[in-house]
Amino acid sequence: MKPAIICFGEVLLRLSSPGKELLLQSPRFDAHIGGAEANVAVSLHKFGHRTRVVSTLPDSTLGRACADELRRHGVETDAIDFRDGRMGMYFLTHGAGHRPAEVLYDRSNSAFAAAPADTYDWASLLKNAQWLHVSGITPAVSSTAAEAASLAMQAARKAGIQISFDCNFRARLWGSRAPEAPQLLSRLCEHANVIFGDDRDIAFMLGFKATAGDARREAADLAFKTFKHLRYIVCTERARASVDMQQLTGLLFDSQNTYTSRSYPLHSIVDRIGGGDAFAAGVLHGLLTGMSPQAAIEFGAAAGCLKHSIPGDFNLLGVADVELLLSEKGGDVRR
Amino acid sequence: MKPAIICFGEVLLRLSSPGKELLLQSPRFDAHIGGAEANVAVSLHKFGHRTRVVSTLPDSTLGRACADELRRHGVETDAIDFRDGRMGMYFLTHGAGHRPAEVLYDRSNSAFAAAPADTYDWASLLKNAQWLHVSGITPAVSSTAAEAASLAMQAARKAGIQISFDCNFRARLWGSRAPEAPQLLSRLCEHANVIFGDDRDIAFMLGFKATAGDARREAADLAFKTFKHLRYIVCTERARASVDMQQLTGLLFDSQNTYTSRSYPLHSIVDRIGGGDAFAAGVLHGLLTGMSPQAAIEFGAAAGCLKHSIPGDFNLLGVADVELLLSEKGGDVRR
Amino acid sequence: MKPAIICFGEVLLRLSSPGKELLLQSPRFDAHIGGAEANVAVSLHKFGHRTRVVSTLPDSTLGRACADELRRHGVETDAIDFRDGRMGMYFLTHGAGHRPAEVLYDRSNSAFAAAPADTYDWASLLKNAQWLHVSGITPAVSSTAAEAASLAMQAARKAGIQISFDCNFRARLWGSRAPEAPQLLSRLCEHANVIFGDDRDIAFMLGFKATAGDARREAADLAFKTFKHLRYIVCTERARASVDMQQLTGLLFDSQNTYTSRSYPLHSIVDRIGGGDAFAAGVLHGLLTGMSPQAAIEFGAAAGCLKHSIPGDFNLLGVADVELLLSEKGGDVRR
Amino acid sequence: MKPAIICFGEVLLRLSSPGKELLLQSPRFDAHIGGAEANVAVSLHKFGHRTRVVSTLPDSTLGRACADELRRHGVETDAIDFRDGRMGMYFLTHGAGHRPAEVLYDRSNSAFAAAPADTYDWASLLKNAQWLHVSGITPAVSSTAAEAASLAMQAARKAGIQISFDCNFRARLWGSRAPEAPQLLSRLCEHANVIFGDDRDIAFMLGFKATAGDARREAADLAFKTFKHLRYIVCTERARASVDMQQLTGLLFDSQNTYTSRSYPLHSIVDRIGGGDAFAAGVLHGLLTGMSPQAAIEFGAAAGCLKHSIPGDFNLLGVADVELLLSEKGGDVRR
Amino acid sequence: MKPAIICFGEVLLRLSSPGKELLLQSPRFDAHIGGAEANVAVSLHKFGHRTRVVSTLPDSTLGRACADELRRHGVETDAIDFRDGRMGMYFLTHGAGHRPAEVLYDRSNSAFAAAPADTYDWASLLKNAQWLHVSGITPAVSSTAAEAASLAMQAARKAGIQISFDCNFRARLWGSRAPEAPQLLSRLCEHANVIFGDDRDIAFMLGFKATAGDARREAADLAFKTFKHLRYIVCTERARASVDMQQLTGLLFDSQNTYTSRSYPLHSIVDRIGGGDAFAAGVLHGLLTGMSPQAAIEFGAAAGCLKHSIPGDFNLLGVADVELLLSEKGGDVRR
Amino acid sequence: MKPAIICFGEVLLRLSSPGKELLLQSPRFDAHIGGAEANVAVSLHKFGHRTRVVSTLPDSTLGRACADELRRHGVETDAIDFRDGRMGMYFLTHGAGHRPAEVLYDRSNSAFAAAPADTYDWASLLKNAQWLHVSGITPAVSSTAAEAASLAMQAARKAGIQISFDCNFRARLWGSRAPEAPQLLSRLCEHANVIFGDDRDIAFMLGFKATAGDARREAADLAFKTFKHLRYIVCTERARASVDMQQLTGLLFDSQNTYTSRSYPLHSIVDRIGGGDAFAAGVLHGLLTGMSPQAAIEFGAAAGCLKHSIPGDFNLLGVADVELLLSEKGGDVRR
């Protein structure tokens, strides 16, 4: 069996109002499963990798059904711990026109947030693994989750496994724990080989202020100086005429160069959520398969672009779909 | 403005899988608003009474939308306190055939459960009120909610307002607080003029064991001896061939007599949840409008029976609908 | 081309709340096309006959779409007159348990009701026709519609075409014109060879009061005495334990004998509306194909029973389906 | 209790085909409640005002359910008169691409249209009111409604209450009464302090023909000369590349100046209906809260723009949502 | 009865995932009826012509229901042969953003593909016909279907009926029979008066290679030289920014001139499938009603453009709708 | 890893009309995945066993999505062979009242039916397996599938693995190959340790005619005499008042005794399809866990009964759910 990519983080139930309706405008919710790390796991599986989610879910018909959805999309779920507790959720109101989407988190005291830091036996979980992916949402969820993320990354470091970290700063999630955020995040970044985040993330963690010129490059330089394992910093640039009309570009920094992808116009966006995770999975796929930095950021940007055409949090498309977009031979109907 | 009936308790968002599906079998939830006391309030409004829900809801688009649903059905919502916190919820899998329905509560740490006991200014809230209705779910939700329920009933007693209490014992909700339940519930019952509950509820609270013969009457006698304000004990009897085929009868006890309603066969039950609250509202309507005990229990049983034909937690039918059933002139199509 | 059966009456748009919900409980309506005579026309087409609806519909996208639905089910629609006006409609709340269904008519001033009595050129419309079917709903709709029905029947009588008339008395439709109803209905019955109606219909038209014993037979005798073209009176008997649990039997009277069909238990009724029209179409099919009176009433009762299993106003099943039920070899799955 | 804004007009049931389908393409309708004045009332409530709809609805489960929907969104419904009659409706086919939306009115002889002019006791209804809003749809509906609108405005004038009037000329509604329209509309305008309408409306009422240059300003000047209570004329300008791609700008005229709002590109319009009413409510909110003319027209244009992102006739967004758009800090996801 | 337009080809059941979902992302399919020739037949009926589909369908509830849908939209279905076999189908995943739509055919061994070449009695079927329309999909489906198409065209030629042929080359359908395609297609083109196809189609059939300059004109010249009955070649030009953002232009060639239509921007495309057939029907309508070549191509392009706004394979709009677009007076709401 | 249960057979896509509608009555299908052996595999996994489906599916987005659904429910899918071809399907019209359900198979020439007999490497597939389950549907599907089933059973026999065989005779599937059926089926039965089938199945295979008395026992005796590995014959008895009202009993025969389960009334059946497979899985679970024959048939009957309450082909309930029914303590709501 080939070595797996381990994604550690909370699996969420997303409840969204149908179409472009506001919450409870009509008495129905569409359900999707998501979570930053689960999204990466699903997408990487669709790109041909073995992926496993390490997480905690409630031991209920609901928690089991959420794990089933992950398994449906090819992610290994045997490392999920089921215990008493509630399901982490979020309510989503899709945006439209000039009305932004709205995410209402309801994940406090979830089974994942409440799980003790030593829930996960990392030595065993990281056997036959090739990569660990963690995001900045996990330390935001609870102190024990923050500690668990740290233990995971230390174990991976010890086992010689590559690590990626997606900053994903969400002020509302940190709540009263916000003052600890910069330190906690930057400690996790110390282990990372790949960081997904832009200059605002770096500024937040390291108290950096751009002097002039290219803030992104300056921030990257500081990060490379600060985080000794770091090989790549990766982020997107998003221009916006309205909620439905945007443009997406990928950027990848190594210690020397900046690689910029083709820019994709995004018209009639189907589902914005998970776009960043699809992008991250695309870049990771590039790095895992030995692409050049330029090829990796192109693959990531195309993957992130395509996610906007798929309902739900997951990017369910495969390598062939991304390559079709990269080849610019797509057409409007394949038959 | 006529005096209002005050219903104090948690307003819940119910999420049920469509039709007879299991949770997440297909990726959709139907949404309804409920809660034992809110259900009573809606039904009493449909019977022509002024009703107000006193509660706490999260100050979010979701919490506001839930209050809007109550207002839609005629309940006054200006006494609802909106504050930070999460929405109390439950997930419902409808039963069918020999598969029972399943309720999965997710209401811990809700805005209501977390609200301090002194959140509600009862002196002001009970002005121009004629009745207070509380249920045994409220003390189960949290210690502060238990204390709030007690304060409400004391204030009502002081203001000379009649009080009804629905025992509604739910072991899962009490959790580790279960040992306190008998004492907390019986203290609330001390204030009640009307108790909804059967001999098992009374046995639970008072440690009663039936000697022989008519356990219900014995339990009632003990309750009348114990609770000095008590005028009526009311309950239903439910016989069951399967989840979809049941029979419902109402029973009302005063200190002397037992009144038994007509029995209703329930075929092809549409929605079982809220049947007890519709029954309670029917009996209360009878008592509030001066019906005889027999007439009140007949009205309650017919109302409870009709609720089983309506999707959602609320009984949305009015006095004319109940009277049509009582008259046995219903027919299968009105045109 | 074989001679057609002409059905004259209003085509209606039915709007029903989904599932067992009350009107607007959720913000959606299911749409069906119906109307007593259109229902008979569709069912007779499914039994292999050529059928044409003569009617008036609004000349709008809505009216055209309603006619399209009739044509979809094989009814010829070229004799429908499209003119300015509104679409006749009704709102349906399905019944359940002990809650009866409710029909809310909204057909006043419809294009059909407003059409002048001389809208239809009967001499031409009845060419190559073998049967005319009219119901008591048409005279209830408006004075001009009543007059049009009378002209239709006179023309058919003159052309030597057989006539059936379904009494279908609806007090709410007649409204302030109710006092004229008995006379108008009995004048139409004078032309009928087959009347669908029971002793209450005959009593209503002829002021009959049963002396004792078999009211149905007495009423039939009076009708045969009064209406000189009459060959058969046909009706159903419906026993009811609840809205979802009924029993259906067909009865057919000629001047001498009473023919009674097998009785069908109706469990879990899917859609009650149109059951009478499906029954009528079944009996007419029997008469049109030369069945014995007993065979005709058996076919009609089985057809009426089967309709209760089909959503919407139309019975969409064919002769083979009815014969399968009559054969008692149905099974629960055909594969 | 703070003084209310009174909106007088018909409440309508809207039935639209799902998604972008044509009427009855699939057998379902989505239901919404609307009506020009009800739309304004809901939006003003969401902006924090007390609003009451004065209207007539059928005394049926349908009419009651429509009123419930208004109450759900915070509008006071106790001034609605329930009486026999039918529900005013319209059928909506959403537009798409180069296919315009289509509204098919079915409101003739509605309970509102049939209500006598003296149905409403304005002296009492306008107590504790601060504003009256009426639209040009009401006089189009029937002669009695026209007379009722006139009585309302006279009573408001007498009570010293400010009046706004939205011209909303709909030729199809006036039908054979069209020749009376200019005179009836301009009589109502005589009472108005604020008129929503553009130069074509003014031209229609006053027989005005622009000489040259700025037709809008010329028309406004004439209107200010003609209508002695008039303070503001307000309208929108809409540019259109296709049904889904438009641009919206607001214009406000006082007797001296013309104030023009920012222009909003409208991509991927969710629901076009009610955009004008949301705009009007936004401007009225500005005027009611003492904003400058420029600020009021900016608020109105942003509100009108946002409405295009919400399904149904109502703008359900609040002041904070509008201010977010005005601040240009919206983002594509709020979390 | 006016002479009919005969459309010969397979009627297909299309199953598409809801909204923009991938196949089976949620467990539901939307069903539509289509097929290149059926689409043309429906559209021509909506433009006022008598149309008949000649085809073979399975003699099952499914096959009958598909024919019913054609009849619903006005197409005569009495020339459809029902026999044992399976229903031809295709699965459609709608495209979005940069993700192309995907058609998955499942029509091998369908009742149509399996029908013997002599299934259709063309001498009788072409009586009272004025036009025959066939597409290049039919010879791709099976050898017998190819032979049947050839027999149809020979019979039409003999009967002096005009013939149109839509090349519609689909490599996947031809499969292993692809090498025969050029010869089979060009043999059918020999009968055609009107060919729908572009220079790639002609190159494919005739092995043509453009020398320089205007490839389309060169190809057309070759076709006019090769196919002696040919009067017009017609095609569209489609520019594409993304799946949702395109531009459509129509081109018509006669032996001398090239006629180019107005270009339509296509924003927010609702349903791309059937656009070519709607265009073809529009051009045929122009030719059938004696329009000039320029007018015919304008009508066709406008019809093709409008189809993109309608769910399903059929263009359900009429002449008035097309003329509204041609007039540029459309507006965004018609009321 | 514990040894797996191998289920060999075709995986089907089921398309059913919504609710109780006829096919295409409204333009939508509900999709489920099924197939006799896949159903057994899913149910056994829910009972705690490792299960693997061996099958062939089309290598398309559709085939992959069907496999994903199996994996979602815990079945191992790595032994599924993906190759060119079509998806096996069936169309289901749910029954209701006196209208039986109807299954319309569309599985000819599916990828599974077309797969060569030697597609499956049984020696490798049966490693670490404890049981092989095959049904009589597989030999009906095609000659190669019949041969593959035979090879599978021979390999299992050789590997010392227990074998169960469900006769599942479907005349329509065998078609022109029906004359071979008895011999093919009885050859497969020769390998079986457990046969699911009743006296009609045995009579069909062995040409048996009951002499008198207990036909089931006589047939069982003959089967035990004929099939030398046979340990148990298992079947259900189904009594039927209507499609919605049935009664289910399980029967298990060993060579000496007959074990009869409790009888379950089935009211308001949700989904009839898959009931037999759920029953088989229940009995197999009993045998696999060492239950007594009586306990095994009780478990099977309860499992079969519960399946009727779940939409789709799969029984998704676990051991605890079955035990709750067996304990008769179910209740109507679990909370």
Number of neighbours of residue A183 by Cβ within 10 angstroms: 10
Alpha helices in C74-142 (DSSP H): 111-114, 122-125, 137-141
What whole-number distance in Å separates Cα of residue C139 and Cα of residue C177? Answer: 10
pLDDT digits (tens, 9 = 90+) for E158-194: 999 999 999 998 888 999 999 999 999 999 999 999 9
Alpha helices in E47-180 (DSSP H): 61-72, 111-114, 122-125, 137-141, 143-159, 171-174
AA identity, residue D228: K
Specify the pLDDT at position A304.
98
pTM above 0.80, yes or no: yes
Q: In the structure, what pLDDT confidence band is assigned to residue C233 with cuts at 50, 70 and 90?
A: very high
* F168 contacts F40 by C-beta, under 8 angstroms: no
Give me the residues paired with residue B308 across strands: none
What whole-number distance in Å separates Cα of residue C41 and Cα of residue E201? Answer: 49
Specify the pLDDT at position F329.
84
Residues of chain D with Cβ-Cβ distance to E335 below 8 Å are 102-103, 105, 170, 172
A28 at interface of C, judged by CB pairs closer than 8 A: yes
Please determine, for residue B13, whether its predicted confidence score (pLDDT) is greater than 90: yes
* E151 contacts E120 by C-beta, under 8 angstroms: yes
D105 at interface of E, judged by CB pairs closer than 8 A: yes
Specify the pLDDT at position B331.
80
Q: Which two tokens stand for residue C313?
A: 């106003």
pLDDT digits (tens, 9 = 90+) for A108-120: 999 999 999 999 9
Q: Which of B25, B66, B108 sits opposite A109 (nearest CB)?
A: B108
Which parts of chain D sit beneath pLDDT 70?
none
Residues of chain D with Cβ-Cβ distance to F19 below 8 Å are none
* Sign (positive or negative) of CA dihedral F266, F270, F276, F278: negative
pLDDT digits (tens, 9 = 90+) for A167-195: 998 888 999 999 999 999 999 999 999 99
Number of neighbours of residue D331 by Cβ within 10 angstroms: 13
Chains that touch B (3 or more CB pairs under 8 A): A, C, D, E, F
Specify the pLDDT at position A335.
85
B274 at interface of C, judged by CB pairs closer than 8 A: no
pLDDT digits (tens, 9 = 90+) for D77-123: 999 999 999 999 999 999 999 999 999 999 999 999 999 999 999 99
Specify the pLDDT at position B195.
98
C277 at interface of E, judged by CB pairs closer than 8 A: no
What whole-number distance in Å separates Cα of residue A167 and Cα of residue B75? Answer: 46
Specify the pLDDT at position C170.
87
**CATH architecture, domain D4-323:** 3-Layer(aba) Sandwich (3.40)
- Please name which of D106, D140, D117 lies closest in space to residue D37, comparing C-alpha atoms: D140
Q: Which two tokens stand for residue C83?
A: 């003119």
Mean pLDDT of C185-206: 96
Please determine, for residue F163, whether its predicted confidence score (pLDDT) is greater than 90: yes
Mean pLDDT of B84-100: 97
* C107 contacts C89 by C-beta, under 8 angstroms: yes
Please determine, for residue B98, whether its predicted confidence score (pLDDT) is greater than 80: yes
Residues near D98 by beta carbon (within 8 Å), at least 6 away in sequence:
D242, D243, E264, E302, E305, E306, E309, E325, E330
Specify the pLDDT at position D211.
78
Mean pLDDT of C306-317: 98
Q: Which of E72, E77, E78 is most worth mutating to test chain C (most C CB atoms within 10 A of its CB)?
A: E72
Residues of chain D with Cβ-Cβ distance to B74 below 8 Å are 68, 71
Alpha helices in C197-288 (DSSP H): 199-206, 215-226, 275-288
Q: Which of A23, A69, A108 sits opposite B61 (nearest CB)?
A: A23
Specify the pLDDT at position E267.
85
Residues of chain B with Cβ-Cβ distance to D68 below 8 Å are 72-74
Average pLDDT, chain B: 96
Is this complex scored with an ipTM above 0.85?
yes
AA identity, residue C282: G
Residues of chain F with Cβ-Cβ distance to A74 below 8 Å are 68, 71
Specify the pLDDT at position F144.
97
What whole-number distance in Å separates Cα of residue F111 and Cα of residue F113? Answer: 6
* F230 contacts F192 by C-beta, under 8 angstroms: yes
Residues near F11 by beta carbon (within 8 Å), at least 6 away in sequence:
F33, F34, F35, F38, F53, F55, F57, F66, F67, F70, F80, F88, F112
pLDDT digits (tens, 9 = 90+) for C236-267: 999 998 898 899 999 999 999 999 999 999 98
The CA-atom distances, in angstroms, between E319 and each of A186, E46, E266, E331 are 66, 8, 20, 17
* F324 contacts F84 by C-beta, under 8 angstroms: no
E31 at interface of F, judged by CB pairs closer than 8 A: yes
Q: Which two tokens stand for residue F165?
A: 């065989």
Burial of C136 from C-beta contacts in 10 A (0-12 / 13-18 / 19+)? buried
* A261 contacts A251 by C-beta, under 8 angstroms: yes
Mean pLDDT of A17-24: 97
Residues near F177 by beta carbon (within 8 Å), at least 6 away in sequence:
F140, F143
Specify the pLDDT at position B32.
98
Pairing relation of β-strands F194-196 and F162-166? parallel
Please determine, for residue F210, whether its predicted confidence score (pLDDT) is greater than 80: no
D98 at interface of E, judged by CB pairs closer than 8 A: yes
Average pLDDT, chain F: 96
Å between B55 CA and nearest CA of chain D: 18
Specify the pLDDT at position F143.
97
pLDDT digits (tens, 9 = 90+) for F274-308: 999 999 999 999 999 999 999 999 999 999 999 99
AA identity, residue D147: E
- Asked if C28's CB is within 8 angstroms of A28's CB, the reply is no
- Please name which of B167, B164, B166, B168 lies closest in space to residue B131, comparing C-alpha atoms: B164
Average pLDDT, chain A: 96
Å between D29 CA and nearest CA of chain C: 5
pLDDT digits (tens, 9 = 90+) for A28-37: 999 999 999 9
What whole-number distance in Å separates Cα of residue D27 and Cα of residue F26? Answer: 7
- Please name which of B281, B319, B326 lies closest in space to residue B300, comparing C-alpha atoms: B281
Mean pLDDT of C102-120: 97
Residues of chain C with Cβ-Cβ distance to F101 below 8 Å are 332-334
Specify the pLDDT at position C288.
98
What whole-number distance in Å separates Cα of residue A84 and Cα of residue B75? Answer: 36
Mean pLDDT of F145-165: 98
Which parts of chain E sit beneath pLDDT 70?
none
Torsion of CA F204, F210, F215, F216, to 10 degrees: -40
Specify the pLDDT at position E29.
98
Burial of F176 from C-beta contacts in 10 A (0-12 / 13-18 / 19+)? exposed
Specify the pLDDT at position B268.
83
Tell me which chain C residue has its CA closest to the CA of residue F273: C333
* CA-based end-to-end distance of chain A: 35
* F145 contacts F138 by C-beta, under 8 angstroms: yes
Burial of A273 from C-beta contacts in 10 A (0-12 / 13-18 / 19+)? buried
Q: Which of E15, E31, E61 sits opposite F104 (nearest CB)?
A: E61
Pairing relation of β-strands F258-260 and F245-253? antiparallel
Chains that touch A (3 or more CB pairs under 8 A): B, C, D, E, F
Specify the pLDDT at position E329.
84
User: Order of strands across the sheet with E51-58?
Assistant: E80-83, E51-58, E4-8, E129-135, E162-166, E194-196, E232-242, E245-253, E258-267
Percent above pLDDT 70 for chain F: 100
Mean pLDDT of F258-267: 96
Please determine, for residue F44, whether its predicted confidence score (pLDDT) is greater than 80: yes
